[in-house]
Amino acid sequence: LPKVMAVLNNSNAGSFTFILMDLPGLEAAHCWTAIPVCSVYVLSLLGNITIMCIVKSVPSLYTPMYLFLSMLSMADLGLSASTLPSMAAVFLLGQRKVGAATCFMQLFFIHTFSVIESAVLLAMAFDRCVAIREPLRYATILTTQRIGALRLAIVTQSAALHLPLPVLLGRLQFQPVNVLSHSYCVHPDVLRLASSSTLVNSGFGLFVMLSTLGLDAVLILLSYVLILRTVLSIASNSERLKAFNTCISHICAVLLFYTPLVSLSMIHRFGKKKLPAQVSMLLSYLHFLVPPMLNPIVYSVKTKEIRVRILKMFHPGKL
């Protein structure tokens, strides 16, 4: 990252700035719009930190399922921390101007943690697939060492794929002042404002998206096809329900993450001229802000071990 910053400082990134977008029609109501925004971040931080602390402090939860859940919480925290600075500047301070280098580094972290979350959701799908299809070999297939290696591979690959983004953006030409469509910097939004050729940037961005989010979505779907085949082959209805119930939380997390993303992609491709800009902005907020807030709630409600330990924190003498 220091080398990337050095490249940006030596490029033309200092000759232009970006203006972050406030909520249309609510520019003067910062004291009111700041309340839900701050609430989302507080809930995200408290929920994900709580789950990470529970998994770390309870040795019986050092199993693949809960280690992956802890990884998901780490990704959610990273995603929240990536969008927080500019969102706080816009909604709390009314400061919408951001430098190019700062904007490029923010989009690097936003996209990196987004891809990390997608990869963790894929790993969790694989975990559920192995647990249901190969229950006797589950502990030998998903060992702690393999999970640690997988965690390192996910973070390394996600960061390495996105390191070229700020460098490539720094080589483009922009107007002195550029107005973004969101309260944070994301690659497609910045790229559309360039006044020079974006062919290389667009091609590389498409490659990264298809090789990460696109491939992950396909493999997650394939995992659930295999899980469904196995569950339907179980003779007992109660055992079928028990096996499928272990996947409910993960299915909710996948839907929370991918539904706004797919909807946003469809709008950008087919309906951008027909729908108001507020729809695209709302879906973007749903994609980046809602999963980090709701994932801990979903897993706390649907996972008995997490739910029991959270209740113990509030009522230590009753459980």
pLDDT digits (tens, 9 = 90+) for 3-24: 555 545 555 556 789 998 877 6
Question: What is the structure's pLDDT at 5?
Answer: 53
* 314 pLDDT more than 60: yes
Rounded to a whole number, what is the largest CA-CA distance in the chain?
Answer: 68
At residue 142, what are phi and psi to the nearest 5 degrees?
Answer: -105, 80
The token pair at 43 is 């809930």
> What DSSP letter does each residue of 40-101 carry, written as one string?
HHHHHHHHHHHHHHHHHH-GGG-SHHHHHHHHHHHHHHHHHHHHHHHHHHHHTS---EEEHH
Q: Tens of pLDDT along 67-82?
A: 999 999 999 999 999 9
The token pair at 144 is 């702690």
* 92 pLDDT more than 60: yes
Question: What is the structure's pLDDT at 128?
Answer: 93
The CA R_g of the chain, rounded to the nearest whole Å, is 21
H-assigned helices in the chain: 2-10, 30-57, 64-91, 100-133, 138-141, 144-162, 164-170, 187-191, 199-209, 215-232, 237-245, 248-266, 277-302, 304-314
At residue 235, what are phi and psi to the nearest 5 degrees?
Answer: -70, -40
pTM for the predicted model, two decimal places: 0.90
Q: If pLDDT is split at 50, 70 and 90, which confidence band does 243 have?
A: confident
| pLDDT higher at 95 or 49 | 49
* 319 pLDDT more than 60: no
72, 291 Cβ separation under 8 angstroms: no
User: Residue 274's CB: how many other CB atoms inside 10 A?
Assistant: 8
* 294 pLDDT more than 70: yes
Question: What is the structure's pLDDT at 9?
Answer: 55
- Out of 28-37, 122-131, 177-186, 288-297, pick the least confident: 28-37
d(CA 63, CA 55): 9
Smallest CA-to-CA distance from 292 within 112, 119, 76 is with: 76
Which strand (E) or helix (H) includes residue 197?
A: none
3-state secondary structure of 97: strand
Mean pLDDT of the chain: 85
The token pair at 199 is 């062919």
d(CA 95, CA 16): 17
50, 303 Cβ separation under 8 angstroms: no
Question: What is the structure's pLDDT at 277?
Answer: 66
Angle of helix 64-91 relative to helix 277-302, nearest 10 degrees, comes to 140
∠ CA 243-245-249, nearest 5°, is: 130
Question: What is the structure's pLDDT at 189?
Answer: 87
Strands 177-179 and 97-99: unpaired
Kindly state the average pLDDT of the residues 308-313.
Answer: 83
Question: What is the structure's pLDDT at 29?
Answer: 61
Q: Which among 229-243, 271-285, 289-303 has the top mean pLDDT?
A: 289-303
> Distance from first CA to last CA of the chain, Å, rounded?
47
d(CA 289, CA 31): 19
Half-sphere exposure of 232 (CA within 13 A, CB side): 6
* 112 pLDDT more than 70: yes
Question: What is the structure's pLDDT at 281?
Answer: 77
Domains present along the chain, CATH in parentheses:
22-314 (1.20.1070.10)
d(CA 237, CA 131): 18
